[in-house]
């Protein structure tokens, strides 16, 4: 057994022990073997041996639906500052809204009042932000569903159905053994600097059909506003009677809580 396999087994056993302790505190006595089986089922394996062997059946492919959990974190709050982008993950809508409001308040406190400030929400396209703070035609804070990088790809099976399968990822030559992100940055910079000129045009042509090129071409301000209008017309959401003063006091409490946590740490 390799060191990685041993560490993986110990991690699963630790999870099983925590499960037994939690249930014991609630008056449920769980056998050790049963707790191992439970951990295997939680990870999608048939049994404990299958879990250790890595024989875990992938989940069936399904498109993400707005409002449904897509993993451990359902929402991402992205703040676009002039020189840096920050991302916060939230498991629930309530926490996501608190974080979104906190970021929006801080930005508007610095930016100052302006007629061009807009809050735009849409429920039509789950691939685009659901809630946006816009100043002019630029999004500064967005609340959206995060993309999950899990190493899986969509493949067509023999029966014609689409399934999730483990993707064959190319090796990262020279990067697997790097001990720091500084050394990784140096290696990547050197690799990109040595690309041949003759390769750039074919790459640019292929990239022009990519999702990144599509996203860059989207008139963001027009799209999110039109989706907000479509949401209002199709769903007819009721007006929310929020008290601005009470909302600002709640946000200040959130900021104070985060500041206290930062000091304690």
- Using CA atoms, how far apart are residues 92 and 98, in angstroms rounded to an integer? 10
Using 50, 70 and 90 to split pLDDT, how confident is the model at 68? very low
- The count of structural domains within the chain is 2
Is 94 a domain residue?
yes
Do 139 and 100 share a structural domain? yes
Do 79 and 142 share a structural domain? yes
- Using CA atoms, how far apart are residues 37 and 48, in angstroms rounded to an integer? 5
Residue-wise pLDDT tens digits, 28-44: 788 888 888 888 887 77
Residue-wise pLDDT tens digits, 193-229: 777 777 777 777 777 776 667 666 777 778 778 888 8
Question: What b-and-e string marks burial along 165-182, b requiring 16 or more CB atoms within 10 Å of the CB?
Answer: eeeeeeeeeeeeeeeeee
Domain coverage including residue 7: 3-52
Is 87 a domain residue?
yes
Is 99 a domain residue?
yes
Q: What is the pTM of this model?
A: 0.52
Is 27 a domain residue?
yes
Q: In what order do the strands lie in the sheet with 138-144?
A: 85-90, 75-80, 138-144, 131-135, 117-121
Is 116 a domain residue?
yes
Do 223 and 143 share a structural domain? yes
Is 46 a domain residue?
yes
Do 139 and 17 share a structural domain? no
Give helix 3-25 / helix 32-42 axis angle, nearest 10°: 110
């Amino acid at each position: 057994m390799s060191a990685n396999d041993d560490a993986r087994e110990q991690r699963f056993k630790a999870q099983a022990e925590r499960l037994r302790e939690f249930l014991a505190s609630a008056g449920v006595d769980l056998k050790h073997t049963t707790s191992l089986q439970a951990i295997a089922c939680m990870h999608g394996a048939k049994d404990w041996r299958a879990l250790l062997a890595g024989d875990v059946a992938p989940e069936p492919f399904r498109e993400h639906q707005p409002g449904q959990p897509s993993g451990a974190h359902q929402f991402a709050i992205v703040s676009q500052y002039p020189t840096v982008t920050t991302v916060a993950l939230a498991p629930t809508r309530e926490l996501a809204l608190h974080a979104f409001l906190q970021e929006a308040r801080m930005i508007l406190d610095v930016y100052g009042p302006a007629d061009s400030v807009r809050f735009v929400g849409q429920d039509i396209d789950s691939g685009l932000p659901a809630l946006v703070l816009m100043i002019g035609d630029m999004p500064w804070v967005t609340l959206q569903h995060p993309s999950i990088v899990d190493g899986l790809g969509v493949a067509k099976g023999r029966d014609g159905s689409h399934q999730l399968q483990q993707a064959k990822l190319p090796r990262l030559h020279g990067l697997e053994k790097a001990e720091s992100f500084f050394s990784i940055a140096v290696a990547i910079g050197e690799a990109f600097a040595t690309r041949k000129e003759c390769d750039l045009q074919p790459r640019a042509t292929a990239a022009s059909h990519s999702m990144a090129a599509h996203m860059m071409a989207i008139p963001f301000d027009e799209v999110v506003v039109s989706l907000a209008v479509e949401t209002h017309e199709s769903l007819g959401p009721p007006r929310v009677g929020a008290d601005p003063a009470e909302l600002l006091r709640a946000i200040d409490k959130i900021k104070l809580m985060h500041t206290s946590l930062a000091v304690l740490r």
